């Protein structure tokens, strides 16, 4: 099976890096064939790198800049390439070091963010999960993606991270599709406890919880992949096989607009609690 194609933002970033490599080569007075010959590559490799078809390794960049006598560009190009590589990371890759490390890896981002906006079309947001709900979710991750089974440590790490909800100086806006409330993760008892926990969190001063009712007229607020906006600086989106990090201001603005549209059809306060209570009653 071929690997999934990266999203357009990643392709565009790779193409922009390839364009820089082409400019460096041309400034050195070399053809693509000549550069490949000096590097000991097949000549098609130079073309693939310049067209963004193949992401360059650190060593590829070092060889390129050395041949073009542009070593002063090496560090910046490597940093750019690593940044692109970090935009689109397959879950299997990031989880290979353990689920606890995945949970801990976002702590610096959470600590420097003051305005959090979360939209979830799949599961209860991590900051709002109970211990048993998290355990059931991570058990599924282990089963589906053969991730290391350090579930106890990962659950502890996620529960510890939730302290940020009460740390002060931060705002949290959560939007959840109603069908998430009715999707049974773990077992009925786990879901009842989780939904009751959600109702309790609606009293947290720093938290805004909106539920988008099933059957509501969507207008421009179509369902989307789950995503989180951190201040106005970064978006993290959850794809089936990978995580996408967006830092381009134009793309962040697109996600912010989508969040605003979705927030406009959500219900809050007593109406949101009524939908959560209805989901609890449906579980018997």
Evaluate whether residue 146 is within a structural domain. Answer: yes
- Other beta carbons within 10 angstroms of residue 191's beta carbon come to 24
Taking the C-alpha atoms of residue 40 and residue 261, their distance in angstroms, rounded to an integer, is: 53
Pick from 68, 87, 106: which residue ends a domain?
87
Cα Rg for the chain, rounded, in angstroms? 23
Q: What pLDDT sits at residue 2?
A: 47
Note the pTM of the prediction, 2 decimals.
0.77
The count of residues in the chain is 284
The domain tally of the chain equals 2
38: domain CATH number?
Answer: 1.10.260.40
Q: What pLDDT sits at residue 6?
A: 59
Question: Is the domain of 80 the same as that of 196?
Answer: no
- Asked if residue 262 lies in contact with residue 268, where contact means CB atoms within 8 angstroms, the answer is no
- Asked if residue 109 lies in contact with residue 230, where contact means CB atoms within 8 angstroms, the answer is yes
Classify residue 53 by burial, with Cβ atoms within 10 Å: 0-12, 13-18, 19+.
Answer: middle
- Asked if residue 155 lies in contact with residue 131, where contact means CB atoms within 8 angstroms, the answer is yes
Give residues with Cβ within 8 angstroms of 240, minimum separation 6.
Answer: none
Question: Is the domain of 273 the same as that of 154?
Answer: yes
Question: Is the domain of 151 the same as that of 272?
Answer: yes
Q: What pLDDT sits at residue 1?
A: 43
Evaluate whether residue 142 is within a structural domain. Answer: yes
247: domain CATH number?
Answer: 3.30.870.10
Q: What pLDDT sits at residue 246?
A: 83
Give residues with Cβ within 8 angstroms of 178, minimum separation 6.
Answer: 211, 212, 213, 214, 275, 279
Question: Is the domain of 141 the same as that of 73?
Answer: no
Question: Is the domain of 83 the same as that of 104?
Answer: no
Q: What pLDDT sits at residue 252?
A: 87
Question: Is the domain of 79 the same as that of 104?
Answer: no
Pick from 38, 62, 87: which residue ends a domain?
87
DSSP-based three-state secondary structure for 235:
strand
- Asked if residue 162 lies in contact with residue 197, where contact means CB atoms within 8 angstroms, the answer is no
Question: Is the domain of 172 the same as that of 201?
Answer: yes
Question: Is the domain of 275 the same as that of 179?
Answer: yes
Evaluate whether residue 2 is within a structural domain. Answer: no
- Asked if residue 171 lies in contact with residue 206, where contact means CB atoms within 8 angstroms, the answer is yes
Question: Is the domain of 73 the same as that of 187?
Answer: no
Tens-level pLDDT at each residue, the chain (284 residues): 444 555 666 788 889 899 999 999 999 999 999 999 999 999 899 999 999 998 899 999 999 999 999 999 998 888 778 777 777 777 887 888 899 988 998 999 999 999 999 999 999 999 999 999 999 999 999 988 888 889 999 999 999 999 999 998 999 999 999 999 999 999 999 999 999 999 999 999 999 999 999 999 999 898 989 999 999 989 999 888 788 888 777 888 999 999 999 999 999 999 999 999 999 999 98
Pick from 64, 87, 110: which residue ends a domain?
87
What range does the domain containing 74 cover?
8-87
Question: Is the domain of 57 the same as that of 119?
Answer: no
Question: Is the domain of 108 the same as that of 246?
Answer: yes
Q: What is the DSSP letter of 162?
A: G
Evaluate whether residue 1 is within a structural domain. Answer: no
Evaluate whether residue 33 is within a structural domain. Answer: yes
Question: Is the domain of 103 the same as that of 83?
Answer: no
Taking the C-alpha atoms of residue 134 and residue 127, their distance in angstroms, rounded to an integer, is: 10
Judged by phi (left if over 0) then psi (alpha if -120 to 50, else beta), residue 236 lies in beta
Evaluate whether residue 221 is within a structural domain. Answer: yes
Taking the C-alpha atoms of residue 8 and residue 182, their distance in angstroms, rounded to an integer, is: 33
């Amino acid at each position: 099976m071929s690997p999934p194609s990266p999203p357009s933002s990643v392709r565009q970033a790779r193409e922009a890096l390839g364009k820089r490599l082409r400019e460096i080569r041309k400034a050195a007075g070399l053809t693509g064939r000549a550069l490949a010959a000096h590097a000991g590559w097949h000549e098609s490799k130079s073309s693939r790198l310049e067209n963004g078809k193949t992401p360059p390794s650190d060593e590829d960049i070092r060889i390129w800049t050395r041949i073009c006598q542009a070593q002063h560009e090496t560090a910046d190009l490597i940093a750019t390439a690593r940044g692109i590589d970090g935009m689109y990371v397959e879950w299997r890759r990031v989880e290979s070091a353990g689920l606890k490390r995945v949970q801990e890896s976002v702590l610096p981002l959470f600590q420097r963010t003051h305005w959090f906006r979360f939209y979830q079309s799949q599961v209860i947001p991590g900051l709002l999960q109970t211990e048993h709900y998290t355990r059931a979710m991570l058990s599924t991750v282990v089963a589906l993606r053969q991730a290391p089974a350090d579930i106890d440590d990962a659950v502890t790490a996620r529960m510890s991270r939730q302290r940020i909800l009460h740390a002060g100086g931060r705002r949290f806006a959560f939007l959840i599709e109603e069908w998430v409330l009715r999707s049974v993760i773990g077992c009925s008892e786990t879901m009842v406890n989780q939904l009751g926990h959600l109702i309790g969190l609606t009293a947290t001063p720093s938290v805004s919880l909106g539920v988008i009712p099933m059957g509501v007229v969507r207008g421009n607020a179509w369902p989307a992949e789950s995503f989180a906006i951190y201040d106005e600086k970064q978006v993290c989106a959850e794809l089936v096989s990978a995580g996408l990090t967006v830092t381009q201001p134009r793309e962040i603005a697109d996600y912010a607009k989508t969040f605003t549209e979705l927030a406009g059809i959500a219900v809050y306060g007593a109406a949101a609690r009524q939908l959560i209570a209805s989901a609890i009653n449906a579980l018997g």
